[in-house]
Chain A
Amino acid sequence: MAASGSKCRSCGEPAVIDLPRHNANFCAEHLLQLCRRQLHKAIEDYDMFGSDDRLLVAVSGGKDSLAVWDMLVEAGYRADGFYVGLGIGEYSDESTRYVTDFAEQRGLHLISADLRRDFGYDIPTAARATKRVPCSACGMSKRHLFDKAAVDGGYDVVVTGHNLDDEAAVLLGNVLHWDIEYLARQLPVLPARNGFPRKAKPLVRLTERETAAWCLLRGIDYLVEECPIAAGNRHLHHKSVLNTIERESPSTKSAFYLNFIDNMAPLLAEQTAAASGDLVECARCGAPTTGETCGFCRLVDTARAHEPVPVDLVLGKRGRR
């Protein structure tokens, strides 16, 4: 057993993790308590949802989505899972197994969709067919299907596992380009509007290290490997930059994001309202859209017409191993 000199800030027992941003160490029990408190603070501070709401948790098999599903169920919320098979080779096969096992072992309700089975394409093929980065087709497909599943199933809120690192990295990317429209929409909760369901990110006050530790300490088996297509993308580079800053100046990352939400987002609220107008129903699927046919239906048309592309042909910079 490894000897540790550090003690839990709450109880003085041997610590299992050091969290420089809190200038503290924690034992297993009090780390879990910290995670629960941060989850509840996010839900309450941003008025995400209540105990009567039906939640649909978007799950991928990774640590964040399984952690947030676990936390919400533990806290007594009515939360079902929704999973989309993306057709990214062995990575997707493994993802499916982790999600299915998680739900079965806990007796939770899981709804599944599969791009190839249900819509005739997969992410590698969509990337090649649209000549865009795979993450673009992946994000559009998932957002559309999460929204549709929530509306069709009568859920009040779509919950995602985006954490503090995710949001800070997206914020950095949006700031570097001064993308005002994206900045205005980068909120921990988006209200239901124009046929879109409410969306909430209850993990925005927790870092990736903390959600991973939650999974370890709760015995949650998750897919550790990152998406082979996403490897080396700009989002991961932004995370790395922020972690370099965080190392020299702990808690900068949380200040960057949370102070944006408190101080800057209200100033951008007018922009959000202006950007949300003039939506109509997609002539094909009924989803809200600015044109006659929504982006997802156009993506399906383009990708389905393309011959299947093996995942090896679209691997990210560090995914080629």
Chain B
Amino acid sequence: MLVKLRNPNREIEVDGDRTVNHLLDALELPRESHLVICNGTLVPGDARLAHDDVVEIRPVISGGC
């Protein structure tokens, strides 16, 4: 699947199938500070992602100064 990452913006290919939580764990991204959007739709941690999905992993932490 195609995975879009932020900060900085980049795209990587990841072998499917796997759940959202497994994908975040594999990329060492905390679940508490990210949302996952699959094919334009917000999905929960147990959602199963397929090899042809386009996935965005969006960080939600802001500087807050």
Contacts and interface: CB of A to CB of B under 8 A. Distances in A.
A and B associate: yes
A80 interface: no
Given A4-B44, A25-B44, A208-B60, A233 B65 contact: yes
B42 A208 contact: no
Nearest to A209: B60
A224 B37 contact: no
Contacts of B45: 6, 18
Interface of B: 6-8, 20, 30-35, 37-39, 41-50, 53, 58-65
B44 A17 contact: yes
Contacts of B20: 2
Given A226-B61, A233-B63, A243 B30 contact: yes
B65 A235 contact: yes
B43 to A, nearest CB: 5
Nearest to A247: B32
Contact of B47 (A3, A211, A225, A243): A3
A202 interface: no
14 contacts: A2-B39, A2-B49, A6-B44, A18-B45, A62-B62, A211-B60, A213-B42, A224-B6, A225-B6, A227-B63, A231-B63, A235-B63, A247-B30, A321-B8
A212 B62 CA distance: 10
A6 B42 CA distance: 13
B44 A239 contact: no
The 8 closest A-B pairs by CB, nearest first: A230-B63, A135-B65, A4-B47, A212-B60, A166-B64, A2-B47, A243-B32, A2-B38
A216 interface: yes
Contacts of B46: 4-6, 18
Q: Identify the interface centre among A17, A28, A170, A244: most chain B CB within 10 Å of its CB.
A: A17
B44 A224 contact: no
A309 interface: no
A224 B63 contact: no
Contacts of B44: 4, 6, 15-18, 25
Interface string A209-249: 10111001100000011110011010110011001101100
Contacts of B64: 162-163, 165-166, 169-170, 235, 239
Given A138-B65, A208-B33, A244-B30, 12 more contacts: A2-B50, A6-B45, A17-B35, A62-B62, A162-B64, A209-B34, A212-B60, A226-B61, A230-B65, A240-B30, A247-B30, A321-B8
A236 B63 contact: yes
Contacts of A225: 6-7
A173 B47 CA distance: 36
A139 B64 CA distance: 10
Contacts of A205: none
B35 A224 contact: no
Q: Identify the interface centre among B34, B48, B58, B62: most chain A CB within 10 Å of its CB.
A: B62
Q: Identify the interface centre among B35, B39, B49, B60: most chain A CB within 10 Å of its CB.
A: B60
